[in-house]
Amino acid sequence: MKAWGGLKQSGILGLNQRNAAYTLVYNQRRLYPLVDDKLKTKALALQAGLSVPELYGVIDSEYQIRHKLHDLLAIHPEAVIKPSKGSGGKGILVLTGRFRERYRKNNGIIMEKEEVGYHVSNILSGMYSLGGQPDRAMIEYRVQFDPVFEGVSYMGVPDIRIIVFLGVPVMSMVRLPTRESNGKANLHQGAVGAGIDLAGGVTVAAVWKNTAVEEHPDTGASIKGLTIPRWPELLKLAAGCYELTGLGYLGVDIVLDQSKGPLILELNARPGLSIQIANRQGLLPRLDAVKKQAHDLHSLAERVAFAVKTFKTAAACNPNN
Amino acid sequence: MKRKHLFILAMVLTLAGLGCFYYKVRQLKLPLQPKVQTMLWTLEAEVAFKAQKAPIKIELFIPKNNPNIAITNESFISREFGLNTETEGGNRKAVWSKRQAKGKIHLYYRGVFRLTGVERTLEAPFDRRDKTELRKPDFSGTRLEASTALIAELFDKSADMESFVIALLKRLNQSDESAATLFLLDKMKTTEDKADLIVRLLSLADIQARAVHGIRLVQDLKFARSDLKHWVEVFDNGKWHPFNPETAEKGIPADYLVWWRGGEPLLKFKGLKDCKVAFSLARNEEETQFIVSDRNPKGMPFLYRFSLFSLPLQTQSVYRILMLIPIGALLVVLLRNVIGIRTLGTFMPVLIALALRETQLPVGLMLFIVLVGLGLGVRRYLEQLKLLVVPRLAAVLTMVILMMAAFSVVTHLLGLEQGLSVALFPMVILTMAIERMSILWEETGPGDALRQGLGTLIVATFIYLVMAVPILAHLVFVFPELNLVLLAAILLLGRYSGYRLTEFIRFKVFNTKEKSS
């Protein structure tokens, strides 16, 4: 019962409550395809003038694997191949270049041409998609992450997750890949999650495999106190995804490219709960605050301003961090 | 608003389920315990004879449905004889006939009977059709005189039919009695003869009566014709009243199987020199599962007829299993949404639990681990061949089935019969599990894959253990409406938005913080 009290007091949002009180209520089923299919999200974002990683091409049939795939990769040797309807980072292949007739993966391993083709074929047959439905493979720009993350990521690209509730950013974190996570930015696979103060864009606390950490496990560089560049821009980008999709409870994944700035990587209608651990903060008080004010917030600027004002000090001043 | 709606719905479902359940328990007296009245008795009659040249006709009385004892199954082994069952004077009889036969021949009747637990009413209902002819007294000379005197004396000493009959039976059972009684009894060796004598004496007093022949379903036994128990039924006031000729008590025990009534012999034959009949009675524990499948539910209330018992036995046994699935589903909801255990596939644990019922727990768990392990190996090997997904799944499925076949053959040769039940494993789902597990393995490492595999096994084992509780299986089958109550529970759990138990581990940082401050 003590354990129960601790979670409740911290305002932790549990999975059941997230489903019953947030995603089921604020996210209409018919809007899900907009975010479950990354190609649709991308088209939508482009239409609205939001920046996304450039799409080089789409492979949607076995025929194209033989005829289109390698032509595309010849033009863009640095590219990311991902399933359009994949979830949880499954099925993403990052190519960093070519070696003779072969490809080089982000972990340095060389892949044969047909190995890449096989991977795309697996994507097409729905191996990584929700419910195993047939899928498309998208080939897109490989993000060159901003130098601010140079010392604190291993192999992969760090991404910034912002939870947006009714158009108001409520919590955010940056996920830093590690050797253990194999370059992936997924917390339960071993990536480091660092909470970000919504007001200033400064990292405040970090968690790795459920324990608090101060430095990156692979590089030893300090994670705390990192300032994310162009933070206000990121917040606006994230908040704008509410209008974009109409989803009330949303996880926005953004990457910071060194030349192109913040890009929307993907949207998530059922964002995970680990962000609370990374911030050492429960989501519930913040969600409640937004619920109370939602009808007074009319423009995007108002919503972002509200977030910056309301969620400003909460994490930054927590003595335990 | 939605919440209220849900509560009302759950309430209505619960009330409907429990109401129906209550009615069936109180009014229809369906058993709450699986073993209360599940005693089944197999009665076998073997007719043996040597065929002569003449055409053969054999008539054997067979029991009919009674309120207290119901026929659940009946079969005949007739060789090449024509078989007819007919009803005659309230009795049923099997008639075998053949124009020509050779050698020693055995014919069988086998009936499976169930004590229904319904009280046998003292007065057997009078059926116009089974009106037996009044047995003629058939006394002459001194016997007639003695009998008439006895009747006159007892008539004087009694007030009504019942007291008269009881006085008569008592008199006939006294050993130190007057010469008149002894004289009447001197040729009476068996109870059957005595019952017949009583019927004749009552007929002399103008009281209609008949002998009842049958057997008590008490213990396993091989018996002959002479071991049958006999009762006397006396007609009075539109009803037949049974009396025990040995004890002069009124009533027939509930476990007494009425075979036939009247004075006719059990077995009649034509065209034979001799014909023997032997009986055996056996209690059948194994079949206690298949109760309440009376062949003749006439007169039973609608709800009784409109139940799973009206289905053929084979279909019933399928529903015995299917009716357990909602319990499994509820447990899955509990274990996933309240406890938070992650499994491969939502309802796969239920299917595995069903398979475990057939294989038994240790063998089943071992099978699952071996099959999934081998499947993962095959899947890994096929991965190198770079097959497309659907053909690869099909290939894994085929391999899984071949492995199961090999496993069954090997265990059978080793004399382990449990290996045979492997075939009940949900292999298609198993294949999907193998696929999902291997993707998980590749994407997030063996830790997650093994954790989910283990979670599946734990949940399946738990569900199996719950399903194995005999009373639960019995209740959901005999009272399927209880599933409405389960449904209500599932619906309510559908709105459970509290923490999952595993989230206390996941978010344990917040608890340690709480303690330190």
Residue range A250-285, pLDDT digits in tens: 999 999 998 999 999 999 999 988 899 888 889 999
| Coil, helix or strand at residue B488 | helix
The CA-based angle B231-B234-B239, given to 5 degrees, is: 115
Q: Answer yes or no: do B270 and B359 share one domain.
A: no
Q: Answer yes or no: do B94 and B223 share one domain.
A: yes
- ipTM summary value: 0.78
Query: What's the token pair of residue B280?
Result: 């055996």
Q: Answer yes or no: do B369 and B470 share one domain.
A: yes
Looking at B207, B223, B251, the residue that finishes a domain is: B207
Q: Answer yes or no: do B99 and B117 share one domain.
A: yes
Q: Answer yes or no: do B117 and B167 share one domain.
A: no
Fold of A55-141: Dna Ligase; domain 1 (3.30.1490)
Contact A7/B507, CB-based, under 8 Å? yes
Q: Would you give the distance in Å from CA A34 to the centre of its chain?
A: 16
A112 touches chain B (CB under 8 A): no
Q: Residue B512 falls within a domain, yes or no?
A: no
Share of chain B above pLDDT 70, in %: 83
Q: Residue B281 falls within a domain, yes or no?
A: yes
B386 touches chain A (CB under 8 A): yes
The torsion angles phi and psi of B377, rounded to 5 degrees, stand at -60, -50
Dist. CA A43–CA A245, nearest whole Å = 12
Query: What's the token pair of residue B211?
Result: 């002998």
Query: What's the token pair of residue B94?
Result: 């099997």
Q: Where are the domains of chain A?
A: 2-51+145-316, 55-141
Write the pLDDT tens digit of every residue in B490-515.
999 988 888 888 888 888 777 664 44
220-259 of B, contacting A, C-beta below 8 A: none
The torsion angles phi and psi of B132, rounded to 5 degrees, stand at -85, 150
Query: What's the token pair of residue B250?
Result: 């009124």
**Which residues of chain B lie closer than 8 angstroms to A6, CB-CB?**
510-511, 513-515
Q: Answer yes or no: do B375 and B453 share one domain.
A: yes
Q: Residue B66 falls within a domain, yes or no?
A: yes
Query: What's the token pair of residue A90?
Result: 């499954």
Q: How high does pLDDT run on average in chain B?
A: 79
Q: Residue B184 falls within a domain, yes or no?
A: yes
Q: Answer yes or no: do B351 and B274 share one domain.
A: no
As a dihedral over the C-alpha atoms of residue B380, residue B458, residue B342, residue A279, rounded to 10 degrees, the angle is: -120
H helix or E strand, kind and range, residue A102:
strand A102-105
**Which residues of chain A lie closer than 8 angstroms to B448, CB-CB?**
188
Write the pLDDT tens digit of every residue in A210-258.
788 888 888 888 888 888 989 999 999 999 999 999 999 999 999 999 8
Looking at B171, B188, B207, the residue that finishes a domain is: B207
Residues A2-51+145-316: name the CATH superfamily.
ATP-grasp fold, B domain (3.30.470.20)
Tell me which residues of chain A have a pLDDT lower than 50. Answer: 1-2, 314-321
Q: Answer yes or no: do B347 and B460 share one domain.
A: yes
Write the pLDDT tens digit of every residue in B75-126.
888 878 888 888 877 788 889 888 888 888 888 888 888 777 666 655 555 5
Tokens 């303690």, residue located: B515
B444 touches chain A (CB under 8 A): yes
Q: Residue B240 falls within a domain, yes or no?
A: yes
**Which residues of chain B lie closer than 8 angstroms to A88, CB-CB?**
443
Task: Tell me how many domains chain B contains.
Answer: 3
H helix or E strand, kind and range, residue B214:
strand B209-216
Cβ atoms of A23 and A271 within 8 Å: the answer is no
Q: Answer yes or no: do B284 and B257 share one domain.
A: yes
Share of chain B above pLDDT 90, in %: 9
- Residue to substitute from A1, A2, A16, interface B, most B β-carbons within 10 A: A16
What domain range is B266 assigned to?
36-133+210-309
Dist. CA B186–CA B144, nearest whole Å = 14
Residues B59-67 have a mean pLDDT of: 83
Please report the pLDDT score of residue B34 as a whole number: 66
Cβ atoms of B378 and B415 within 8 Å: the answer is no
Query: What's the token pair of residue A244?
Result: 């974009």
